[in-house]
Chain A
Amino acid sequence: MSAAGNSVAVGATPAGSGWRAFFNQSRGVRVCSCLLLAIAVLVVFGPLLSPYAIDQVDWQHIAEGPSWSSGHWFGTDNNGRDLYVRTLRGGQISLLVGICATAISLLIGVSYGAIAGYAGGRIDQVMMRMVDVLYAMPFMFFVILLMVLFGRNLLLMFIAIGAINWLDMARIVRGQTLSLKHREFVDAARALGVPAADIIRRHIVPNMMNVVVVYASLAVPQMILVESFLSFLGLGVQEPMTSWGQLVSLGAREMESAPWMLLFPASFLAVTLYCLNVLGDALRRYNDALAGSLRGAA
């Protein structure tokens, strides 16, 4: 929403379709896309520009503000490590967590929802009842428990965070599957004796990619935020790696004495989340409008 153009939302058919149409929605979408791209490029290649390594301690400059002459463009943390490098390398982890955790939540949610929806009947009922049960779980709590108890490796973190929000996805996908499974092409495939698993994989899932993509784009910023919360609790990634969440939670403790420790990582985090949310909203609107126009055409 926000800066993204809203005229589209009110049922107007997007001018054409495809990526170009999406970007033509508004200036906000274009600005946010460019910003995200810039951040992604900076995060991947930026660390190469600095003479410092991520774990290098500069004993002469501990907890010092940004300075051009020392080469610490974002200042140093209270261990004398370069914040420019750490912020960008931290960005790699944050983005990785966002993407991988979302992928995992999609994987679980889509397969679960599609199976339940396609199978229907008793199986569907039982599977969805289980989802109801799981909704009552304090998931955040289980994530904390997992991180505490079974160490801090990245993969586990992806899985734990990703396992949080597959429930919504499962419900959405099930609904979509129900509406898709009696369409002609599915019936045809079934008549030809294509196994159920293949039908789901080849015919059902690809036909709801739109919904999935929209959902995923809104899930990525959520996942990044969850990771930052874990970091606040001290359950983030292992040293010397870091993440935006970790840098921000350390910086928040020194916002008065060393504001740069908060400012740089927090700006990166906030701008990234902001852009991701704007794009996610725009994507959803675009998708709705597209669906609306298709329905209108039908």
Chain B
Amino acid sequence: MLRLIRHRLLVAVPTLLVLVVLAFVLMRLAPGSPFSSERNLPPSVEENLNARYGLDDSLGEQLLRYLGNLARGDFGPSLYYSDHDVADLIREGFPTSLRLGLAAMILALGAGVTAGIAAARRPGGMLDHLLMGVAIAGISVPNFVVAPLLILVFAVWLGWLPASGAGPDASLTAAGMVLPVVALALPQFAYVARLTRASMLEVLDSSYILAARAKGLPERTILLRHGLRPALLPVVSYLGPATAAVITGSVVIEEIFGLPGLGRYFVQAALNRDYFLVLGVVVFYGLLVVIANLLVDLCYGLLDPRVQRQ
């Protein structure tokens, strides 16, 4: 297992390198300068700005310098949020995204697995139709429709929950988190429920479950003790990358609920040509995916003894 961890981390280095270079090249191919605006920016001022951030050197030099800094853990300054370092922005944004994302994933996992099992118990039954109907609806309606709808109903009409997720008055409090977490969890719930149901059905059809049934074990024991563990394997392998994606934040949810997460930077930083911030969040994301995949592999070991022995 330690070997697995070491191996994964070794692979991570070239992965991240490719990621950085690709993002760097794409960003710099883009027309438009980080400092352009409709307002009056005399050429001399723009030159000063470029010089201040070292953007007047050759691209190769800039890339090497960036990689060198990165190796030392320096993510560089933000070109747009000029009072901040990229590292600061990530450090400040990540806890929000992480909380929100983890809460959403826990909710999606709990509700999704439960729904999946419930649906698989009697395939074709009323409950199955209902739950899977909800699940498919969950991946058929874009979340930029779901989120405002939730706000309209629960915050404006009913007044039960705050419309914004954050702020000193409702600073990611339990109440403030409910709506964004639900909106974020819905599509994940749908995937998890469908996956669980499908793999549960497959497992229930296998020979050892038939054997357990033949032994006359109670249905509950069969489902939860014998069926669930193997049925969760595909769910776990889905969870890894999905969690990494969710905890780096969602642009849509963050914009609509006014949350201070990381997700916005993926779009905003690109639009602002905030080169270092773009690279920073991309590297960070890559790192999270690597870690998440590692965790998935470890969980596989927990769930499936065969994998452990290998």
A and B touch in the complex (CB under 8 A): yes
Chain A interface: which size bin?
Answer: 35 or more
Q: What 1/0 mask marks residues of chain A from 133 to 175 whose CB sits below 8 Å from any chain B CB?
A: 1011110111011101100000000000000000000000000
With A145-B27, A145-B30, A252-B148: A138-B142 Cβ-Cβ less than 8 Å: no
Chain B interface: which size bin?
Answer: 35 or more
Which of A15-23, A103-111, A185-193, A273-281 touches B? A273-281
Q: How far is the CB of A148 from chain B (nearest CB, A)?
A: 6
Asked whether, in the complex, the Cβ of A10 is within 8 Å of the Cβ of B123, the reply is: yes
Check if A1 is an interface residue, CB within 8 A of chain B: yes
Which of B42-50, B57-65, B127-135, B170-178 touches A? B127-135
Residue with the highest number of chain B CB atoms closer than 10 Å, among A1, A7, A228, A229 = A1
Q: How far is the CB of A223 from chain B (nearest CB, A)?
A: 13
With A132-B11, A148-B270, A228-B142: A10-B201 Cβ-Cβ less than 8 Å: yes
Q: In the bound complex, how far is the Cα of B189 from the Cα of A131, in angstroms? A: 27
Q: What 1/0 mask marks residues of chain A from 207 to 237 whose CB sits below 8 Å from any chain B CB?
A: 0000000000000010001001100110000
Asked whether, in the complex, the Cβ of B128 is within 8 Å of the Cβ of A6, the reply is: yes
**B285 nearest in chain A by CB position:** A138
Q: In the bound complex, how far is the Cα of B270 from the Cα of A233, in angstroms? A: 12
Q: In the bound complex, how far is the Cα of B136 from the Cα of A278, in angstroms? A: 8
With A6-B124, A248-B142: A136-B15 Cβ-Cβ less than 8 Å: yes
With A1-B194, A3-B133, A135-B289: A141-B201 Cβ-Cβ less than 8 Å: no
Check if B214 is an interface residue, CB within 8 A of chain A: no
Check if B137 is an interface residue, CB within 8 A of chain A: yes
User: A71 to chain B: which residues have CB within 8 Å?
Assistant: none
Which of A2, A141, A144, A249 lies in contact with B133, CB distance below 8 A?
Answer: A2
Check if A245 is an interface residue, CB within 8 A of chain B: yes
For chain B residues 120-168, which have a beta carbon within 8 Å of chain A?
123-124, 128-129, 132-133, 135-137, 139-142, 144-145, 148-149, 152
Q: In the bound complex, how far is the Cα of B127 from the Cα of A6, in angstroms? A: 12
User: A225 to chain B: which residues have CB within 8 Å?
Assistant: 139, 142
With A2-B133, A133-B14, A136-B290: A273-B140 Cβ-Cβ less than 8 Å: yes
User: A3 to chain B: which residues have CB within 8 Å?
Assistant: 129, 133
**A251 nearest in chain B by CB position:** B145
Asked whether, in the complex, the Cβ of B148 is within 8 Å of the Cβ of A1, the reply is: no
Q: In the bound complex, how far is the Cα of B44 from the Cα of A59, in angstroms? A: 47
User: A140 to chain B: which residues have CB within 8 Å?
Assistant: 266
Q: In the bound complex, how far is the Cα of B16 from the Cα of A2, in angstroms? A: 41
Asked whether, in the complex, the Cβ of B15 is within 8 Å of the Cβ of A149, the reply is: no
Asked whether, in the complex, the Cβ of B139 is within 8 Å of the Cβ of A277, the reply is: yes
Q: What 1/0 mask marks residues of chain B from 84 to 113 whose CB sits below 8 Å from any chain A CB?
A: 000000000000000000000000000000
Q: How far is the CB of B223 from chain A (nearest CB, A)?
A: 15
Interface set of A (CB-CB < 8 Å, partner B):
1-3, 5-7, 9-11, 129, 132-133, 135-138, 140-142, 144-146, 148-149, 221, 225, 228-229, 232-233, 245, 248-249, 252-253, 255-256, 262, 266, 269-270, 273-274, 277-278, 281
19 A-B pairs within 8 Å (CB atoms) are namely: A1-B135, A6-B123, A9-B198, A129-B11, A133-B14, A133-B19, A135-B241, A136-B285, A136-B286, A137-B22, A138-B266, A138-B285, A146-B26, A149-B30, A249-B144, A252-B148, A269-B140, A274-B136, A274-B137
